[in-house]
């Protein structure tokens, strides 16, 4: 079966070996974050609808999971915001009913959690990883560049309400950008929100690969640790990137094909995914590992971020 909506399994530094589910076209999102590794948002929208047929996604999942694969998680992530898909509740319910042995994880940018129907749809998931990168409206607009009717206040109220009702685990992710959301004022505001949120973990993250703009620099891990320390034991720094040998899902064949393609011509993430028939997030995970191993380097070009083999 040719899978159109599943990708991976990919090595994930937080979730282990994770099968990805992508429910939106490249790239539909409620935000257009400056750090987005999938590039700029083409369809900036709040419209919830069946972007891809729910029945087709369920068929693919049934086919894939019936082979009893060795997975740590089945994760809704993809190249846009998964809660934009109106069938998400039906797909989660299917997974919990027919394949309860798999941990269902939802990555979300939190923007639609103010909607009761979205909160209800996510309730059966085992783990929800919402993100929150700003508290003040100004910083929210600067980092997340939201659809115009979204506000930071509404996002935070939706997130707090969801966390209060949800019985699964919540790992809040905060993406830190030097000089933008690590100012004294913004950190104080974050502290106030962290107090209100029922989150099992709060994880600080920074850039692994370049995002949609070229002015963001990765924040050194030590600086992230210092920030985390300020907030107390509930806040931690996200784990180091996955190393290839730590992940049974890492395919040397795919890695070699990526290297062979890049040796011929430096390529963007989209170039590689298209040339090798990989999902952009699959290709991205391999790039993470190759960058982490020091085999690749990256630079900004006219069409975005290009990867080339170091020393070539």
127 touching ligand SF4, by CB under 6 A:
no
305 touching ligand SF4, by CB under 6 A:
no
List 22, 81, 173, 271, residue binding ligand SF4 (CB under 6 A): 81
Long-range Cβ contact pairs of 300-304 (< 8 A, separation 24 or more): 300/210, 300/214, 301/266, 301/268, 303/268, 304/39, 304/268, 304/269, 304/270
- Parallel/antiparallel/unpaired status of strands 16-21 and 28-29: unpaired
Q: What DSSP character marks residue 57? A: H
Q: Which residues contact 59 (CB under 8 A, 6 or more apart)?
A: none
List 12, 18, 41, 206, residue binding ligand SF4 (CB under 6 A): 41
- Parallel/antiparallel/unpaired status of strands 296-301 and 304-309: antiparallel
Stretch that binds ligand SF4, among 13-21, 35-43, 284-292, 297-305 (CB under 6 A): 35-43
Question: Among all chains, which residue has been given the structure tokens 């209060």?
Answer: 164
Structural element, H or E, at residue 105: strand 104-108
38 touching ligand SF4, by CB under 6 A:
yes
- Cα angle value 231/75/123 (rounded, 5°): 75
Closer to ligand SF4 at the Cβ: 41 or 152? 41
130 touching ligand SF4, by CB under 6 A:
no
32 touching ligand SF4, by CB under 6 A:
yes
Closer to ligand SF4 at the Cβ: 38 or 290? 38
Q: How far is the CB of 224 from ligand SF4 (least distance, A)?
A: 18
36 touching ligand SF4, by CB under 6 A:
yes
Q: How far is the CB of 173 from ligand SF4 (least distance, A)?
A: 10
- Summarize as ranges the residues that interact with ligand SF4 (CB under 6 A): 29, 31-33, 36, 38, 41, 80-81, 109
């Amino acid at each position: 079966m040719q899978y159109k909506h599943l990708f991976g399994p990919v090595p994930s530094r937080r979730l282990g070996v994770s099968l990805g589910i992508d429910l939106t076209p490249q790239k539909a999102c409620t935000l257009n974050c400056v750090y987005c590794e999938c590039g700029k948002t083409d369809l900036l929208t709040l419209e919830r609808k069946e972007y891809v047929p729910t029945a087709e996604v369920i068929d693919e999942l049934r086919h894939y999971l019936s082979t009893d694969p060795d997975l740590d998680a089945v994760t809704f992530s993809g190249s846009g915001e998964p809660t934009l898909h109106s069938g998400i509740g039906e797909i989660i319910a299917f997974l919990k009913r027919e394949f309860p042995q798999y941990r269902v994880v939802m990555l979300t940018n939190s923007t639609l959690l103010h909607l009761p129907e979205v909160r209800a749809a996510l309730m059966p998931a085992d783990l929800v990883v919402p993100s929150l990168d700003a508290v003040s409206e100004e910083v929210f607009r600067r980092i997340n560049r939201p659809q115009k009717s979204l506000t930071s206040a509404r996002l935070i109220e939706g997130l707090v309400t969801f966390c209060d009702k949800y019985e699964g685990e919540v790992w809040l992710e905060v993406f830190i950008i030097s000089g933008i959301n690590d100012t004294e004022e913004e950190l104080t505001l974050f502290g106030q929100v962290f107090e209100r949120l029922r989150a099992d973990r709060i994880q600080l993250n920074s850039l692994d690969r370049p995002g949609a703009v070229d002015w963001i620099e990765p924040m050194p891990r030590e600086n992230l640790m210092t920030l985390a320390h300020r907030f107390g034991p509930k806040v931690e720094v996200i784990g180091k990137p996955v190393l290839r040998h730590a992940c049974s899902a890492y395919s040397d064949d795919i890695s070699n094909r990526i290297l062979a393609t890049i040796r011929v011509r430096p390529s963007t993430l989209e170039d590689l995914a298209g040339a090798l028939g990989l999902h952009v997030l699959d290709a991205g995970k391999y790039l993470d590992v190759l960058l982490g191993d020091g085999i690749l380097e990256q630079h900004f070009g006219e069409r975005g971020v290009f990867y080339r083999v170091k020393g070539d």
